[in-house]
Amino acid sequence: MLKIDDARIAIIGLGYVGLPLAVEFGKQRSVVGFDINAIRIEALQRGEDNTLEVSGEELAEAAHLTYSSKPDELKACRVFIVTVPTPIDEHKRPDLRPLLSASETVGRALKKGDLVIYESTVYPGCTEEDCVPVLEKFSGLKFNKDFFCGYSPERINPGDKAHRLPTIKKVTSGSTPEAAEAVDALYREIVTAGTHPAPSIRVAEAAKVIENTQRDLNIALMNELAIIFNKMGIDTQAVLEAAGSKWNFLPFRPGLVGGHCIGVDPYYLTHKAQSLGHHPQIILAGRRLNDGMGAYVAQQLVKAMLKKGTARAGARVLVMGLTFKENCPDLRNTRVVDVIRELQGFGFEVDVHDPWAEAAVAHEEYGLALTPSPEAGTYDAVVLAVAHEQFRDKGPGYFRSLGGPGGVVYDLKHLLGVGDSDLRL
């Protein structure tokens, strides 16, 4: 029997997904926020969140939330919610190591009547086929007899202060009807937008993975249109604004597709499809196109510099923005790096300026040193790669001032008007 009415909750993984969840539950229930990163735990205990998703005031409001990196402290919990990353490896295959390691940790703390809920993005079937056997192995308990599982996909949008956890409708599911109701009731405590109970864990897993696959494909279409219109000498933004005057035209825009979701999740679905003998042509075509946009952007910039006579070995280029999206310090899977690497391959010296990114993380993850204050008049080209609010506040004259005579300005995010830049995506 499930016994979670006043159960203590453990949130496994305190990143962009886990911390907001721990804070919301911690306002009304006893919660242990667990992470293997002891430095992260120490920062949270000081009331500091380097992801900037949760303010110090919000952390203080979670009066029933404690933090720990010690697995033994999980044994007093009855509900375990797993929110660890699910990345891909260098061959673009699902890397389940963080998920399976978290399952092992939970399994060692699992007791009869406990509930384990997964929020990490996976392919349909992963929870019951990959995670449950690990839980059984390390707990010695029987699934759906001694313990139960649920799946409720995360829908966190990093950097978005309008759409927060309580205001985003939550999909829920459970391994039995009783577990499904328990999972749904649990999330109803904190999600004011309501819930959508899915008929099975596999349905909930599939719903999550296609949300970002759909976005990925729509952006891939816009990217291909941008390439076509560029060859035709037509401004893509002007075309999209005209087409957008129709009520049912979807407002997607071209761009670099990075981050931990849109650029990763489709590979979980294609992996599962291929294991079943189906080659998903459309999804993979969209991924190939989006993964190639960094090189395309760099090559377009080089052509523009050639026309102005500034494309030479040692030419200086300033890339403004490194994070995968605006107004967010998240550098995971940023595709701005593809632009930088391609330009470096041409023999250019590339400086990177980003007021949101952490210099230590940029160096550790990508070997890049951030430029805190770009000097005016020193660059042969400037690339506006991320639409941070600090960049939006600048006028076109500022970006022109960063370049020397004949400098090229490439506006990927349409921060500037027509004529204020040399290139627009």
Question: And the tokens for 229?
Answer: 């219109």
3 state DSSP class of 302 = helix
**Rounded to whole angstroms, how far apart are CA atoms 367 and 30?**
41
Residues paired with residue 11 on neighbouring β-strands, in sequence order: 33, 81
| 53: nearest Cα among 15, 110, 84, 81 | 15
* Catalytic residue of the set 77, 149, 261, 328: 261
Residue 34, classed as helix, strand or coil, is strand
Task: Kindly give, in sequence order, each residue whose CB lies less than 8 Å from that of residue 17, ignoring residues fewer than 6 positions away.
Answer: 83, 119, 120, 154, 156
Residue 179 burial by Cβ neighbours in a 10 Å radius (0-12, 13-18, 19+): buried
Length of the chain: 425
Say if CB 102 and CB 35 are below 8 A apart.
no
Number of Cβ within 10 Å of residue 109's Cβ equals: 22
Assigned token pair, 339:
């632009």
Residue 347's Cα: distance from chain center in Å? 31
For the chain, report the end-to-end CA distance as a whole number of angstroms: 57
Q: Is 261 a catalytic residue?
A: yes
d(CA 77, CA 70): 13
Cβ-based neighbour number of residue 414 at 10 Å = 19
Task: List, in sequence order, every beta strand (DSSP E) within 47-194.
Answer: 65-68, 79-82, 114-118, 147-151, 170-172
Spacing of C-alpha 293 from chain mean position: 18
Sheet bearing 147-151, strands edge to edge: 65-68, 31-34, 9-12, 79-82, 114-118, 147-151
Active site residues: 261
